[in-house]
Amino acid sequence: MKTRTNNPPIGIFDSGLGGLTVYRELRKILPSENIIYFGDTMRVPYGNKSTESIKIFSSEISQFLLSLGVKMIVVACNTVSSTSLDIIESITKLPVVGVIEPGVKLAIKKSKNKKIIVIGTRATVNSHSYKNKIEENDPTIDVIEKACPLFVPIVEENFVNHKASLLIADEYLGEFKSKDYDTIILGCTHYPLIKNLIKKVLSDINIIDSSKACAGYVKDILTNNNMLSKNDGDGWTDFYVSDKPQNFMELAYRLAGVKICKINIKRF
């Protein structure tokens, strides 16, 4: 069992399992950091909820993480990053990091022909947050957005390897096979968990995993602000969910390779 230290933890939250993709990348590059992860499994998916509801959920979870003494909040959810960062920033002076800006910067760097697809939940796509951020950085880039609302349930209900999932992926993305977009942004942290499914439909395209980009961004912020953990060894992690803890633990290991020995329940 890891020794508990007093170094303040990083707080991460998502609507469910998707944020584990960010957690996994953070663990690779910041192994000594203490982390608290919250998955709102009682209210997943967020993508079909109203903006007002998402803001309420985000505020509740952020205040809970702040009560546990986190040193920064990582919003490992594109839907929240698209709709509610302002709410979170209004209740704390600590660093708040979303997943959109890091993903956008990486996509612009990778695209050779300046043609980018963004896929995400309905809430993310309807907010046009990726499109606006891309055009803010480079107005000459051609951006097309596509909502893929069934992708999150495919992950959360463990249908990743079901034959129906490939049919759904092809229904969403098949239209792009004949077009010359060279880069696709996975605008939902659940989507890296179905990256292989997406590759089966769009095999010759740059796939931008915003989780990796976000983790690098977090490390830069901690380094530049002298906030890195002073742990000598590996940091600890506390996991919280709002419902179905056993299901979360099983899918976390099966889909994300994250082994969870203990999990806590927090409901609002």
188 is catalytic: yes
Catalytic residue among 77, 148, 214, 261: 77
Helix ranges restricted to H, the chain:
20-29, 51-67, 78-83, 85-91, 100-110, 122-127, 129-137, 151-156, 163-173, 195-201, 210-224, 245-256
Helix ranges restricted to H, 84-121:
85-91, 100-110
CA distances from 101 to 52, 62, 97, 189, 218 (A): 22, 20, 9, 14, 12
Q: Output the CA torsion sign for 190, 200, 115, 148.
A: negative
In what order do the strands lie in the sheet containing 183-187?
142-147, 115-120, 183-187, 206-209
77 is catalytic: yes
Catalytic residue among 148, 188, 214, 261: 188
- Token pair listed for 73: 């909040």
Task: Decide: helix, strand or coil at residue 191.
Answer: helix
Residues 113, 182 contacting (CB under 8 angstroms): yes
> Which residues are part of the catalytic machinery?
77, 188
